[in-house]
Amino acid sequence: MQLKIFIILVLLVIHLSAKEEGSRYSVGLVGMSMDYREYDDNNQILDSEKSDLSGIIGVELGMDYIVNTSAQDYSQVGLHLTTLWGTTEYVGALLNNGGGYGSVVSSSVNTILDVEGEYLYGVRIANNFDAIAGGSVGYRSWRRELSSYQVEVYSWAYLNPEIGLDFTATRDISLRLLLGYKYGLSPIMTATGIKDNFELGSADTFHLSLNSQFNIDETTSLFIEYLYENQVITKSNIVYSSDGTGYLEPDSNANNQYLKFGVAFKY
């Protein structure tokens, strides 16, 4: 319900902000490589999830509206939705069995949803170069199915300030470098068999992307984008199961990479 309300509000803001300067709709195929690791209080690895770019795949949909533009500056608002699914190799141990890291190797099923509303402002700083700044608000969910009886779901809203550069190489080729830091708001994790939520200490993500756009004609373009994320989650509170056993979600770090190929249409 919170996600639906968020999307409706973002669409309303876009509708009220957009003028007749132009709009852009895009669809892309996404491959994601994951390198996720959990650590104990002594910084010893507890378990990990890994995949290559073909292990987790999905689609990205985008709507962007140019609010205003001139020879010296421009601004735009947009809504982007990414959904991914696939498997990772799990390496870890069974809970409370005395086995160390690597005593259990299996596969996990993953589903990821990320949706954000974004505002960017660009200003010309030199020939063919624009400085850009802005940010987004978003929501992220990661469903991690370690087995049929052990499912964990991580979710949080986030604020994401961004800075970057646009470079127009030729009339038909442009590049965008963008850096941002997603600050998680009230991140939680839920787990099968445990009624209460795990309240995560934090869930913050640094990201860097490089996007190349190639114009086919006045209305159609192709794009390729590389995205790197470093996600840091700090440990949760202790939550008790029905039999009185206490559990917590440990510290974790993820280095994820994405490769996107897509097409965009201007109207």
Identify the pLDDT of residue 129. 94
* Residue in 114, 18, 29, 3 with CA at minimum distance from that of residue 63: 18
Range of the domain at 93: 2-266
Tens of pLDDT along 106-153?
999 999 999 999 999 999 999 899 999 999 999 999 999 998 889 999
The domain tally of the chain equals 1
CA-wise closest residue to 263 among 227, 226, 219, 228: 219
CA-CA-CA-CA dihedral for 242, 248, 252, 258, to nearest 10: 30
Q: Any idea how long the chain is?
A: 267
- Residue 127 vs residues 71, 168, 170, 182, 212: alpha-carbon distances, Å: 11, 9, 12, 31, 18
pLDDT confidence of residue 6: 54
List the helix and strand counts (H, then E) for the chain: 1, 14
Mean per-residue pLDDT for 217-242?
95
Both tokens of 73, joined, read 């500056």
Question: 112: domain CATH number?
Answer: 2.40.128.100
Say if CB 157 and CB 169 are below 8 A apart: no
pLDDT for position 69: 78
Contact 199, 235 (CB under 8 A): no
- The pLDDT of residue 11 is 55
Whole-number pLDDT of residue 148: 84
The reported pLDDT for the residue numbered 70 is: 79
Write the pLDDT tens digit of every residue in 244-259.
Answer: 889 999 999 999 999 9
10 Å CB burial of residue 24 (0-12, 13-18, 19+) is: middle
pLDDT of residue 157: 97
pLDDT-based confidence at 103, cuts 50/70/90?
A: confident
Residue 18 has pLDDT above 50, yes or no: no
Worst-scoring range by mean pLDDT, 62-71, 137-146, 168-177, 191-200? 62-71
Cβ burial 109-121 (10 Å sphere, 16+ → b, else e): ebbbbbbbbbbbe
User: What pTM was estimated for this model as a whole?
Assistant: 0.90
Model confidence over 49-90: pLDDT tens digits?
999 999 999 999 999 998 877 778 989 999 999 999 999 999
